[in-house]
Amino acid sequence: MHVRPLWERFWMRFSGQGIFGRTATRLAAMFTRPYSHRIRLSRITPKGYISPKTIICHDSVKFGNNVYVDDGVLLYQDRDGGPIMLGDSVHLLRESYFQTGAGGSITIGSGTHIQPRCQFSAYLSPITIGNGVEIAPYCAFYPYSHGLSGDTSPVREMPLKSKGGIVIGDGVWLGVGAIVLDGVSIGKGAVVGAGSVVTRDVPEGAIVGGSPARILKMRSDSVVLPAHESPTTSD
């Protein structure tokens, strides 16, 4: 065995969220290229790889086994915010943020990959992501909206409202920049095209696109998506 894997395995045994654990994680990654190359470090120990540059301002985060949390990921809890629960082998790529407020929680199923700079903001209602979901960069999930009264008060002063939580089924595929709004359920194996705004439920196995998103075809029709609508899976 080469020296580098021995080095990585030695230090990953001591990885953790304390001062020593973060130092051990830095040492384990010292000779490993950043970003997706460090995903393999998450497989060394069930504790996974949580970057020392991850920002955790949340007192109710549950990490599954072998998770990968990249540089600049933010886990944030606002007042009365619910838990964030990550299943086994979840990948959270850099500069994505996960925020819970009153009435909100975030659950992410096993084997789900979330690419850079995605936004999960769970207020009033939960966000539930299934197993094996692929989410491309710059996707956003908002299970709430600001009320719009008949007066001219600033929208930011309007109370929040929600049609219900967001539910993403197993094996769903979301293209770059997709936005999912409150009360939406996306069925198992569905595909959401790049730049889509999903405002209503998506059936299992459907391919949707547009703003607002509408059904383009069913996957049973054997359509092949253009490459630019396929999120890159880190491995």
Residue with tokens 């769903």: 172
The whole-angstrom separation of Cα 195 and Cα 152 is: 30
Comparing CA positions, the residue from 104, 120, 99 lying closest to residue 174 is 120
Distance, in Å, from the CA atom of 197 to the CA atom of 138, rounded to the nearest integer, reads 12
2 among known catalytic residues = no
**Which DSSP helix (H) or strand (E) runs through 23?**
helix 19-28
- Of 130, 129, 159, which Cα lies nearest the Cα of 144? 159
Taking CA 10 as the corner, what is the angle to CA 71 and CA 87, rounded to the nearest 5 degrees? 50
Q: Which of the residues 37, 58, 91, 146 is marked catalytic?
A: 146
150 phi and psi angles, rounded to 5 deg: -80, -5
Q: Are 8 and 44 in contact (CB under 8 A)?
A: yes
Given a contact cutoff of 8 angstroms between Cβ atoms, the answer to whether 159 and 121 are in contact is no
Q: Which active-site residues does the annotation give?
A: 146
